[in-house]
């Protein structure tokens, strides 16, 4: 059988190409995609050619083999319906799969996730919920803490909502007014990035915050994050900057105040959490968060904002790349 998949063929250029499908084996299903979500983070770095071509596409997902060397397939957020089953999973079931943008594909049932009660468009947000959950796990104890979150894309919004649910008070910093308006509509406190220093000083009596979280994708934010920290504060970096160089002042204040810079990443569980958390447990928890947060608490019109026909994949990536106003999350629709 043949399928059609998005291929990244050069910086800022994607094409639809035909791929061969493997024969269906035991405990596998043939899936027809309904929607696939586009990541505004890693995936846009890949689209722009801002990841070294010898870097592995993913170390943990079987569907993402190879490296970021053109041409390659990418994407990891498909909601699909079971068209043919060689397993106990019933035909017609709607499932989530970590798979590149492709209209038809074969997957092991062990790799699929059920998201009960979530429609297929909203289900494409699941990896972003899981990422936000991992960030909050890495943030550790946050009750009664003041925290700064840089960047109000979908992950920034979800992270802030989870942090506030856990008892934190969050100041969000975002340069775009329309994104701050979205945050305000969700009851969040958001200021322009150039106003966040004054907001933190007023909220902490100039003592600084224990934690600043970067989900902005902007390397320049890290310096400001360090400046906002109190003694022994931490900047938690969720952004992946790809091949961009980051320059930081690590002199007097960084040294004397014992500041730290730490990464947070969704592909693995950090060692200090390995006794209580596994990828499977986090994925199950993220699915529960998706069902609760995405379906019942978030006004999803503010998050799942744009759909593009699968045939117009090039237009979808271009719209995200130019930071089209009002575009929070885009997905490809497979009619």
Interval 152-175: pLDDT, tens: 999 999 999 999 989 999 999 999
What counts of helices (H) and strands (E) characterise the chain? 10, 14
Residue 108's φ and ψ, nearest 5 degrees, are -70, 140
Strands (E), 138-181: 146-150, 169-173
Q: Give dist(CA 141, CA 166) in Å, integer.
A: 9
Position 91 scores a pLDDT of: 95
Q: Please state, for a pLDDT cut of 90, what percent of the chain lies above it.
A: 64
Nearest to 47 by CA among 320, 325, 308, 330: 320
Residues 29-74: tens digit of each pLDDT: 999 999 999 999 889 999 999 988 888 877 566 767 788 899 999 9
Contact (Cβ atoms closer than 8 angstroms) between residue 244 and residue 219:
yes
pLDDT, tens digit, for every residue of 164-220?
989 999 999 999 999 999 999 889 999 999 999 999 999 999 999 999 999 998 999
> Which pLDDT does position 108 carry in this prediction?
94
Rounded Cα distance, 72 and 83, in Å: 26
Kindly state the DSSP code that residue 67 receives in the 8-state scheme: B
Q: What is the pLDDT of residues 104-153, one digit of tens each?
A: 999 999 999 988 788 899 899 988 988 888 899 889 889 999 999 999 99
In degrees rounded to 5, what are phi and psi of residue 142? -120, -5
Q: What is the predicted pLDDT for the residue at 189?
A: 94
> CA-based Rg of the chain, rounded to a whole angstrom?
20
State mean pLDDT over 95-101: 95
CB 305 within 8 A of CB 327: yes
Report the mean per-residue pLDDT for the chain: 89
pLDDT at 263 over 90: no
Tokens of 334: 């497979």
> C-alpha angle with apex 51: 9 to 22, nearest 5 degrees?
50
* Confidence grade of residue 244 (pLDDT, cut at 50, 70, 90): confident
The pLDDT, as a whole number, for residue 3 is: 97
How would you label 33-50 residue by residue, b for 16+ Cβ within 10 Å and e otherwise? bbbbbbbbbbbbbbbebb
Let me know: does 134 contact 140? Beta carbons within 8 Å.
no
Structure token digits, residue 56 = 């592995």
The three-state secondary structure class of 161 is helix
Question: Which of 78-82, 119-123, 238-242, 284-288 is predicted least confidently?
Answer: 284-288
User: 132-143: string of b/e by CB count within 10 Å (b at 16+)?
Assistant: bbbbbbbbeebe
Whole-number Å distance between alpha carbons of 254 and 233: 10
- Confidence (pLDDT) at 284: 74
Sorted by where each starts, the structural domains of the chain and their CATH numbers stand as: 2-124+304-333 (3.90.180.10), 128-272 (3.40.50.720)
pLDDT above 70: residue 301: no
* pLDDT value of position 286: 66
Alpha carbon 72 to chain centroid distance? 20
Q: Does residue 295 carry a pLDDT above 80? A: no
pLDDT at 232: 94
Bridge-based pairing of strands 78-85 and 94-97 is antiparallel
pTM of the model: 0.89
């Amino acid at each position: 059988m043949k399928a059609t998949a998005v291929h990244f063929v050069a910086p800022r250029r994607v094409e639809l190409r035909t791929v061969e499908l493997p024969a269906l084996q035991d405990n596998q299903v043939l899936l027809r995609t309904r929607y696939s979500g586009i990541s505004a983070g890693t995936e846009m770095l890949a689209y722009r050619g801002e990841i070294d071509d010898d870097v592995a596409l993913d170390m943990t997902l079987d569907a993402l083999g190879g490296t970021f060397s053109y041409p390659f397939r990418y994407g990891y957020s498909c909601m699909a319906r079971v068209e043919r089953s060689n397993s106990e999973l019933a035909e017609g079931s709607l499932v989530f799969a970590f798979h590149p943008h492709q209209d038809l594909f074969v997957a092991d049932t062990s790799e699929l996730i059920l998201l009960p009660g979530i429609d297929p468009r909203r289900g494409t947000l699941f990896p972003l919920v899981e990422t936000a959950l991992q960030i909050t796990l890495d943030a550790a104890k946050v009750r009664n803490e003041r925290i700064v979150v840089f960047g109000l894309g979908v992950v920034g919004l979800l992270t802030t909502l989870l942090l506030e649910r856990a008892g934190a008070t969050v100041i969000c910093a975002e340069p775009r007014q329309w994104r701050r308006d979205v945050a305000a509509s969700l009851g969040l406190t958001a200021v322009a990035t150039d106003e966040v220093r004054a907001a933190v000083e007023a909220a902490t009596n100039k003592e600084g915050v224990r934690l600043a979280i970067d989900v902005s994708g902007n390397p320049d934010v890290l310096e400001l994050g360090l400046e906002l920290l109190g003694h022994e504060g931490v900047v938690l970096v969720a952004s992946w900057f790809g091949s961009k160089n980051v320059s930081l002042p690590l002199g007097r204040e960084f040294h004397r105040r014992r500041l730290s810079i730490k990464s947070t990443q969704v592909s693995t569980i950090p060692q200090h959490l390995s006794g209580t958390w596994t990828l499977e447990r986090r994925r199950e928890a993220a699915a529960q968060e998706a069902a609760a947060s995405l379906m019942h608490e978030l006004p999803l019109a503010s998050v799942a904002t744009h759909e593009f026909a699968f045939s117009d994949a090039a237009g979808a990536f271009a719209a995200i790349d130019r930071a089209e106003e009002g575009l929070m999350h885009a997905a490809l629709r497979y009619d």
